[in-house]
A and B are shown apart, each in its own frame.
Chain A
Amino acid sequence: MRRVSDIADLEKAREEILRGRDPDAPMVAVCCGTGCVACGGVKVVDAFREELESRGLSSKVTLLATGCHGFCERGPLVVVRPAGILYQQTKPSDVAEIIETSIEGDGIVERLLYVDLSTGERIQREEDVPFYRHQKRLVLDRNGIIDPTSIDDYVATGGYASLAKALGSMTPDGVVGEVKKSGLRGRGGAGFPTGLKWELCRKSPGETRYLICNADEGDPGAYMDRSILEGNPHSVLEGMLIGGYALGAREGFIYVREEYPLAVSHFSKALTAAEEAGLLGEDILGTDFSFSVTISRGAGAFVCGEETALMASIEGREGRPRPRPPYPAESGLWGCPTNINNVETWANVPRIVEKGGKWYASLGTDQSKGTKIFSLVGKVVNTGLIEVPMGMSLRDIVFKIGGGVPGGKAFKAVQSGGPSGGCIPESLIDLPVDFEALAEAGAIMGSGGLIVMDEDTCMVDVARYFVNFLQEESCGKCTPCREGIKRMGEILTDIVEARGKAGDIERLEQLAYVIREASLCGLGKTAPNPVLTTIRYFRDEYESHVLHKRCPAKVCKAMIVYRVVADRCTGCQRCVKACPVDAISGPRSQPHNVDLEKCIKCGACYEVCKFDAIAGDAIYIE
């Protein structure tokens, strides 16, 4: 894209880009988000490139390597436009057939279509697939249709028009007012009203102000921020530029994990391209507004997602939180007023400026406006990244979009909000997902992780997993978080390893109370959530572990014994061969025996037995 000289020139530059493009030309968009790359997305792109070339179609067909489309379960995904046909789980060997059928011809490669499991119907168009049909995409909408490394693609689809609108026709206060009106709340977890945060920072006295984009996404299984940065980096940059104008800041930082190489690479390219186009740097769009952005890479400490620890890390100090007040809005980076928002929050800003705060506030619920991106993972048929209006019920998310629990298993719970979130049980499945409802249920929105659990999940084991995670990620500064989480972990480990004692549940509750009330930062204050919610909703499971030494979900190995059911065993020897420690013996055609001394409870015999003769059963230990 050429350099843009002023505000009106941006629209001209956009028209020039569009003039060079045929809107009806065939386009192939291959998902190259990290998930699809892991299952061969780049190879599919290469195959398309070669095949199109060999057929002399290179100049007639646009080939896009895009960011994440969201339907990660079915990758690598290919969408053929303008028809919008979705091909899933594609391989390089499918490419020739796709081109022949759907680009050179107007047919469909039936075998690569998505099959709706509930109806058995093959679905042709991407937008008709239930996974996409029930979503509303404001932030992820361009992920599947632009090349994230191309500023032309972003501008062609209306990118940077919101920045031009803000600079050209709005005052800084007007922008802040619009964000306030929108009701947008921080997408990083706490849900603080963004407009209010901006106003506080704007009103703080000081010459220098800083903006920070928090991209230190660290919840296990969460990848919304990564996918935005990988798939549409300019939307985040545009949000920051608008924020810079509104708050009177000249300098911004993006704090991103070193483990996100693709996100770092795409965002770096976006910075270079925007600078060359006159959209970043000195005198942006010919105005007197100047803004620069520095990428600061984090070394992988979960706690550095906490704003004060993050700022300490950018300053080059230990990534440890400090008490607030002072809040970053008054005294943040190097003591200057600083505004920190999460990636998704920034990416919402251009939309709000474009369509107005009132329009944005019409989406969602009373207190939670707009849409939210969730990573839907765990025991769910359609794992992936989804964007839905606030207030959609958990049931709709898990069953309509997620397609329910695989393997005919029963749904048990959803962990919302990552390791600091809580487990929401089946009885609350009709809960509308917004900030208030989740908090009432004892969970949090967090950054948007939703981990679905089925009947085979042991809730005590889940609590132990998250507590262990948090124990490793606690910075160690304050007593309750450092020592308390460690002790909660010890008690939970004792419970799952059949050493639980009467009173353990109460001790966990007491520790949870103290950690929540007394910890310094958000990590500690929310750390007890997984324990408290699992006790609240699954207390019987805890009691069963502690009092009867039984794990109802048959997960905790210390409480399981494998024995052979003699009248079902045919003596086929499959389990004998499968056992890695030779714990099963017995002559062919006669019931086998499990040597409990040798058995490591790996369950290999249980998996291979065709006659249900191996009974993994929880037993009662005196």
Chain B
Amino acid sequence: MESKSRKARWSAIALTTGMVLTANGVATPAQAAEKKLTIGFVVHAVGNPFINQIIEGAKAAAKDLKITLKVTGPAGAEGDAQLTAVQNLAAVGVDGIATSVPSASMMKGLNAVIKAGTPIVQFNGFVDGVNAPYVGEKSVESGRLLGKMVLEKIGGASAKGSVIMGNCFPGFPVLENRSKGVQESLAKAPGIKIIGPSDVKVDAAANFAAWQGLLAANPDALAMVGLCAPDVESIGKVNAAVAGSKTIGAGYDLTAGNLEALKNGTAHISLGQTPFIQGYLPVYMLVDSIRNKIKINKSGFIDAGTEIVTATSVTEPFGSAPLTFAKLQKMSTSPSATRTYYDKIVKGYIKNWQKNLKPIAAESA
């Protein structure tokens, strides 16, 4: 019996080795890139449609700047695993690292990497105290904007009733800021009672179930407001399942599913946070600062802008060209169409990133 057990263990070893070797076979060509700058790009979750849009932005920058991009990140958002990925990239010897920073526990480790000579740019989520600039939305302000738009839809300052709020990731600083902004705007209507924010989970199926339960428990709610990428699509499906539902659906991000919910009228407002810029700009900043010896080892903030989208209108930031809903839908699944649309931003706002760098306090103003 012992020999069988040992045999099994050796088989496991062989399998493990085989898997690593097989995996290595995929990566080898990427290692051939020599002399070219190599930038690490670390995301907080792999396999999320919104995060994928950010990654596509980073890949577009890598292509334009002729550098090698190494994308990595944990399967689920967890700061320690993400910090380990950043540390590993630094140990490999990449020239710079762009990373989202979802956890305060990453600060010490990130500052150690910066101190050791690897420049870092934060994107999508940041921690105050990391000695690196941050590219993202103005989170409190975008919350205020969303709250204001919802309030307009449900009757303005005289509105009376309940508004359900959901947060897929309680504790995530950017989401908490959005929540604060939404509640600030809704507070202008004294007759509004906010239910939540409830934990509506990140996973798409769990997210849908959470919103379904929330609406079932509060069938007279005037609006459902989510703070994360899966929410608008889920809210749309929940509304679609309730005959004659008049509940306003609002939330964030312009994934294909969210846009479809806006198009078919089951959800009503979605704010985008320009994932293309959040991916492109950090890579551009790193490459530009390395090539031109610009020091970026201190905190700062560059606004990636907010996109305001309803079924009938699309407003893009920084004086971008007008955009139709149909074209936005096409862009949500087409990295090349997205790159083409943002060409003006790349040649203007992004190229002049130093002029747009503000103190970090501007993020949550």
Q: Do A and B actually bind?
A: no
Residues of B within 8 A of A (CB): none
Residues of A within 8 A of B (CB): none
